[in-house]
Copies of this chain bind each other. A is one copy, B any other.
Amino acid sequence: MSSETWLEQLHDNGYRVTAARRAVVDVVYGNTHALTPIEVYDQARKKYRALGLVTVYRTLEKLEELHLIQRVHQPIGCQAFISAGLGHQHLLLCKTCGQVEFFEGDDLDALTKSIARKTGYQIQEHWLQLFGLCANCK
């Protein structure tokens, strides 16, 4: 699987594959760090100098709409995006360098049910994120 997958997805959904979009997709696809629009812009401009920041916003918007990327929420801000994995996952984030790992294996069913009962809420989804220092940064 390469970034071509994403370009195909864009195409299959009626969007055009352009040089600007290729540059953005090349930066974000498979990147293990959460990137802000400006960071994407700076990196993508190395591949395609004429790129405009507006197009970065517009492309990220479409990638998010197709669930190819997802927004990353952190104590320092919530404007970064990361390549989305498939299905329901959780994030482990390095507070220093922004590296992201996915993990599964949470077992929140019992907790969720118990809280639903106690509170009367109908629980629809959950967010679980771990923060720390990656092997490099610690």
Contacts and interface: CB of A to CB of B under 8 A. Distances in A.
Contact of A114 (B105, B120, B131): B105
Interface in A120-138: 120-135, 138
B114 A133 contact: no
A132 B123 contact: yes
Given A73-B78, A92-B115, A128-B127, A121 B106 contact: no
A92 B123 contact: yes
Contacts of A119: 92, 101, 103, 134-135
Interface of A: 73, 78, 92, 94-95, 101, 103, 105-108, 111-112, 114-116, 118-135, 138
Given A115-B130, A122-B132, 16 more contacts: A73-B73, A101-B121, A103-B118, A105-B114, A105-B115, A108-B128, A119-B135, A121-B130, A122-B138, A123-B131, A123-B132, A125-B130, A126-B129, A126-B130, A126-B131, A127-B128
